[in-house]
Structure 1
Amino acid sequence: MAQAPSCGGNFAQFLQGVKAEAMSRGISEEVANNALARVKVDNKVLSRDRAQGVFRQTFLEFSQRSVSANRMQVGKKKMAQFAEVFARAEADYGVPAPVITAFWGLETDFGAVQGDFNTINALATLAHDCRRPELFRPQLLAAIEMVAHGDLDPTGTTGAWAGEIGQVQMLPRDIIKYGVDGDGDGHEDLKKSSPDAILTAANFIRALGWRAGEPWLAEVSLPDGDFPYEKSGLGQGMTLNDWAALGVTFRNGAPSAQNLPADLLFPQGRNGPAFLVFPNFSIYLEWNQSFIYTTSAAYFATRLGGAKPYDAGNPGSGLSDVAMKQLQQKLAARGHDVGKIDGILGGGTRAAVRTEQLRLGLPADGWPTEELLGAL
């Protein structure tokens, strides 16, 4: 029998290849058959994968919608309800309650909205599809392993369209590697058990490189008058001491470690909210690569920790989708690496904007404007 292709081709033959690989990893034939017996291609999953919405909301739009009064209220109740579990999470993994709770709230509204796609079908569909099989085939095999452990029901377990499961939306390989039985029932059930979800998230965040006892984001105010905006952005090599010397002050109390690396971020330009972010902010970018999502998640965590709402300021509305693409084309023509011309203000585009603003004598805050577009 010919070896099953790694993606595409006859779906039944593809599943036979997955079954053979699972059995080579120690999964019994009975479990493999049970896991794959009723699997089918889910065309809704493929539609979602093909039409992933690009993240076009501004920071103010997304953060004000996602960090709502209701989410704040429920988040604080959850931290009180599971205080002992959160204390264990911080003691064992170094991750404080607000950080976990913010992800919990943004991902699933604290478990209320976990997704209704059959997990095995979703993973098999994406593993068979030839767009990203190298990502999803290992996740499908991990899901079969979860079936063997009794932690996944092939017909009953549902989640997100891309295969994430549970209250904090994690993929099967991460659940197997970082799963924690928080309630002592012998299983890591991230769908139904909040203690399992909380402690598994803490273990996963620690594995991403979380630095215990350190901040992640803090809102700041800038001094009046001239300011070196070109020093803003990630990876500029500044410290808290450096920013203090430039007159930057904290709205919610300053961290104690003055030599801590710190980057100044303007999610919506110098006239909007301003934040210093610290090494732990990189963990947010590991969790989700969207700059707006991660900054909002980090801000949400500070609010749950007692910080007051940010000063929204009076930022400009930014560029339209068409204008942003025009800007990216002009930046690319000048030799900047902005990635795909997609109208999204990502890290590469922000860095290129800052460089061109500095060259043109404009305030180099990384926020694109019609003035910059015209000057280019």
Structure 2
Amino acid sequence: MTRPTLTLAALTLGAATTALTPAAWAQQDATAAETDAQPPLAVQCGGDFASFKAAAEEAAVAQGADPAAAARFFDGIRRDPEVIAADRRQGVFQLPFIDFSRRLISQARIDRGQAMSDKWDDVFTAIERDYGVSRGVLLAFWAFETDYGAVQGDFNTANALVTLAHDCRRPELFLPQVFAAIELSQQGGMDPDTTTGAWAGEIGMVQMLPEDILDNGVDADGNGTVELKTSAPDALTSGAAMLRDLGWRAGEPWLEEVEVPDDLDWSRTGLDTTLPVADWEAMGVTPRDGDWDGADLSASLLLPQGRKGPAFVAYPNFIVYFEWNQSFVYVATAAYFATRLEGAPVYDAGNPDPGLGEAQMIRLQEALQARGYDVGGADGILGEMTREAVQAEQEKLGLPADAWPTPALLDRM
């Protein structure tokens, strides 16, 4: 189970700086069983907003918040309908990997990343030494989240968090962030009246939630405060600290493009199968560019658009990306972009079979649910749970089990 916090918010696409929604909930509704396992919430979501605020304030004080700080925090809080509207807009994550990655990754963004790597070389060198997180990884998040700090969001953070905690879609994710925000405001790390960020409550250049700031905020520039909105050293080092806290393995690779043979057993692809790299090599899988990055590691074989499209091996660090963000297409794109920023070539797009449009994807997900698969709801987004169900059904039907849903599969079902 992924931890009940979300750590990225403002996704910017292409060279334009239009802030969009995070990928973090592409399949969040799939976790009904996990939600049932959560401890009871201290405050009931929904209902009258003023009553919810009063109950949340009381619960915060009961958990140890200073009564005056809690009262000040909730005093000016208002429900923000734009936050709810933003939360419901997830259409960009319905794009397939090739379209999505081409939309996010431009030459201008690569050039800017290289310039930022040079500008903050001392910071990245210290991070690589002390945290074991490669600069490409942080540069990719920095680029996608805020266009290297240019677009950090203008939503009032306190309003956003309380609005999402009140909304009954994911209160178990956001109510703890409200309590953390109160603590952060007590420490001077945010001002409930003036601090702004992404619509989901993340703050700063790499978009961190209050709980993560409390746990992993680092004063890397040594000025006595953690300033994630204005200090690149603080933001990048705090992001590295969070990745290490999430389980990042120091100095190891995360993703590598490969070439695959035509006769591979496609049912062994996907994140649910992990094998030593030597085993993949024995099956005819080879690195596309040079030697293996993790020859002594285990890895999964990913085919974001099936056996005729790009192919990658995903090392253990790749899984950490899902703790930061839960959308498969976002994670795959962020991990790939990190390799590009460190010199990897443009992937071989191949010639994938046509995929499904939104309406077709919803029909497929409904059909999979009718057959007993848990795909996290029929939302039109090809997340990891849907991919696993597709692969299982392909195998049953005697089709190449590469987890890529096609019109032919939909017709068979």
TM range (shorter): over 0.9
Q: Structure 1 residues 356-365 or 78-87, which shifts more?
A: 356-365
Matched, 1:170 2:208: yes
Q: 1:300 to 1:14 in 2, by over 3 A?
A: same
- Aligned residue number for residue 92 of structure 1: 130
What is the correspondence of 1:269-348 to structure 2 with a 5 Å cutoff?
269-348=306-385
Matched, 1:246 2:280: no
Q: Alpha-carbon deviations, 1:161-182, whole Å to 9, x = none? A: 1111111111101111110011
Distance 1:30 1:343 in 2: 45
Distance 1:341 1:62 in 2: 20
Q: Alpha-carbon deviations, 1:314-347, whole Å to 9, x = none? A: 1123012222222223333333332312222222
What is the TM-score when the length of structure 2 is the normalising length? 0.84
- Aligned residue number for residue 146 of structure 1: 184
Distance 1:174 1:62 in 2: 28
- Aligned residue number for residue 32 of structure 1: 70
- Whether the aligned pair in 2 keeps the contact of 1:215 and 1:255 (CA below 8 Å) is no
Q: CA deviation at 1:290?
A: 0.6
Distance 2:292 2:175 in 1: 44
3-state SS, counterpart of residue 258 of structure 2: strand
Q: Alpha-carbon deviations, 1:170-223, whole Å to 9, x = none? A: 110111111001111111111111111100000000111111121110001123
Q: CA deviation at 1:51?
A: 4.5
Distance 2:317 2:189 in 1: 31
3-state SS, counterpart of residue 254 of structure 1: coil
Distance 2:165 2:352 in 1: 43
Matched, 1:102 2:140: yes
- Whether the aligned pair in 1 keeps the contact of 2:257 and 2:311 (CA below 8 Å) is yes
Letter in 2 for 1:260: L
Q: Structure 1 residues 120-129 or 310-319, which shifts more?
A: 120-129
Matched, 1:70 2:108: yes
Q: CA deviation at 1:61?
A: 0.7
What is the correspondence of 1:357-376 to structure 2 with a 5 Å cutoff?
357-376=394-413
Distance 1:172 1:291 in 2: 24
Q: 1:142 to 1:336 in 2, by over 3 A?
A: closer
Distance 1:132 1:352 in 2: 24
3-state SS, counterpart of residue 264 of structure 1: strand
Identity fraction in percent: 54
Q: For structure 2, which runs of at least 5 residues remain unmatched after alignment?
A: 1-41
Give the length in aligned residue pairs.
372
Q: CA deviation at 1:245?
A: 0.9
Letter in 1 for 2:274: G
Distance 1:359 1:21 in 2: 50
- Whether the aligned pair in 1 keeps the contact of 2:204 and 2:229 (CA below 8 Å) is yes
Distance 2:343 2:319 in 1: 22
Match of 2:80 among 21, 32, 42: 42
- Aligned residue number for residue 199 of structure 1: 237
- Aligned residue number for residue 157 of structure 1: 195
Q: For structure 1, which runs of at least 5 residues remain unmatched after alignment?
A: none
Higher RCO structure (Cα 8 Å, ≥6 apart): 2
Q: CA deviation at 1:252?
A: 2.2
Distance 2:77 2:183 in 1: 16
Match of 2:251 among 213, 234, 247: 213
Q: 1:321 to 1:130 in 2, by over 3 A?
A: closer
- Whether the aligned pair in 2 keeps the contact of 1:324 and 1:343 (CA below 8 Å) is yes
Q: CA deviation at 1:287?
A: 1.0
- Whether the aligned pair in 2 keeps the contact of 1:54 and 1:344 (CA below 8 Å) is no
- Whether the aligned pair in 1 keeps the contact of 2:253 and 2:293 (CA below 8 Å) is no
What is the TM-score when the length of structure 1 is the normalising length? 0.92
Distance 2:74 2:293 in 1: 54
Letter in 2 for 1:229: W
3-state SS, counterpart of residue 257 of structure 2: strand
Distance 2:147 2:368 in 1: 39
RMSD of equivalent CA atoms: 2.0
Q: Structure 1 residues 202-211 or 342-351, which shifts more?
A: 342-351
Q: CA deviation at 1:154?
A: 2.0
